[in-house]
Amino acid sequence: MTYQPPVIKLDQLADVISKEFRHKDTITCYIGSNAATPTASLESLTAAVKAGSPTLPFIKMVHLLLQGPVPYVEKGLQDRIMTYSLFSTGDVRKAANEGRAFYLPCTLANLDSLIGKDREYEPDVAIFKVRPHEITKEFSLGLSVEVLHTAIDHAKCVIAELDFSMPFTQGQSIVGPQSIDYLIDDDDVKCVYNCPAPDFDNLSPEERRIGELITEHFIRDGVTLQVGIGQIPDAVVGTIKGANYKDLGIQTELYGDGLMHLQKADIVTNRKKKQHMGYSTTSLIMGSTELYEFVHMRAGIQMRPCTVTNSAEVIRRNSPFVSINTAMGVDLFGNVWADYIDARRYYSGVGGQPDFVRALNNPVYGVPIIAFRSLTDKGHSKIVKVHPPGVSLTASAYDGVVIVSEYGIADLRGLTAGEKALAIASIAHPRYRDQYLKAIYDDPLFTKPIGSSLGKTPRGVTMYQGNIKLDA
């Protein structure tokens, strides 16, 4: 008879953990993430911690971005349950900025170094969502594979929430019943999280310009794409939709609605990929209900651990590769940051951006693009003279990245420090551009190329030449 894990209810979760680890003072729990956050389990476990019954060890909760409420970051619980977050938003971000949660910086490609065998955060418990296959009786990790296989392999107690609202995805998302110690089957399990699809018809003029610049200058037939999440990457996808490119491939850490539209339109075929040819590869999926219906049982989309999707070797093998991400800002030296606003304000996490930047540090493999609007919502320049002290960098001055704003492209690859400063300043918002350029020319620290002068386009710069007008 085929093994099936024992079934429990949500209100039995704390009892199971208490019994399994009754002789331990501290345990580490790895939580599935993003759209497949097991919120009901987190709420049940937090309720038990608050009630003080059953008796539980101190719990270290390790995870990527969690959607929905995260009740255990509530004030007063940190002596019994503590967050170690690799990527945050909402409640966890607030808790981290108030000293009630730990930010654990790590790129996605290196997660095994944190939670693998004998590592600092090797899990005692793993909690995540699964979708069963009606015929084979296998389980799929659905929308979130990230580093769950490593967590499952090393955890002493593996607990899965049964969730039929989650699509059954293919590839390395499959988990056999024998890998699960307890299966939560409960009517109170929360559905997977979805978010609105991009509105390609109502992009801002700045976003359209950025999309147009990247599509015109870097997208070619047969390139493999990695696209981050947000309005700027969406703008690039929206522009690609209107062009006549073909046989694009996808190897990304996060697959969303925009990439789905390219695949539906047969712009993405994955025929030119050297590895994983014929299907898109991703570690996470997050987006609309339409997206989840599209990926359900679809062989053309294959899940892989982020140690594969973000592997430099695999990225380079699938060249020519174009990676498109965004950031908080860039300084005139070419340093880029994304997880902090400044040293006192934590925002999100480094994610996988450095993985793709470093994998593409040789132009023969492709181009790592960092794109953003030149101004913040408050009207401050995202291009600054020097990066905020104390923040971690997702790309350093020695990384060969391409910076794109709505005003143009600054290709920093192969430029000297002085040339980089001139190139970056040239695509700043006009409100700041002239003062930056004058400061660079007045500062002997930045050795300028012979023959350069104010008003002359620096090496590496392509200014926007299209017809999209910006508001004054």
Euclidean distance between CA atoms 284 and 144, whole angstroms = 5
Euclidean distance between CA atoms 87 and 85, whole angstroms = 6
Euclidean distance between CA atoms 230 and 347, whole angstroms = 15
Euclidean distance between CA atoms 355 and 362, whole angstroms = 13
Q: 425: which residues sit within 8 A by CB, 6+ positions away?
A: 332, 383, 433, 436, 437, 440
Euclidean distance between CA atoms 452 and 82, whole angstroms = 55
The helix (H) or strand (E) run that includes residue 434 is: helix 430-442
Three-class secondary structure of residue 174 per DSSP = strand
Catalytic-labelled residue, pool 122, 161, 206, 253: 253
Tokens of 21: 């680890």
Pinpoint the alpha helices (H) of 223-377: 231-241, 257-264, 289-295, 306-309, 312-317, 353-359
The CA–CA distances, whole Å, from 4 to 34, 90, 139, 276 equal 27, 36, 11, 32
402-405 and 366-371 strand pairing: parallel
Distance of CA 410 to the CA centre of its chain: 24
Strands of the sheet containing 301-303, edge to edge, are 170-171, 301-303, 280-282
Known active-site residue 253: yes
Tokens of 328: 């908080």
Euclidean distance between CA atoms 233 and 218, whole angstroms = 14
Euclidean distance between CA atoms 440 and 112, whole angstroms = 43
Euclidean distance between CA atoms 146 and 282, whole angstroms = 9
Catalytic residues: 253
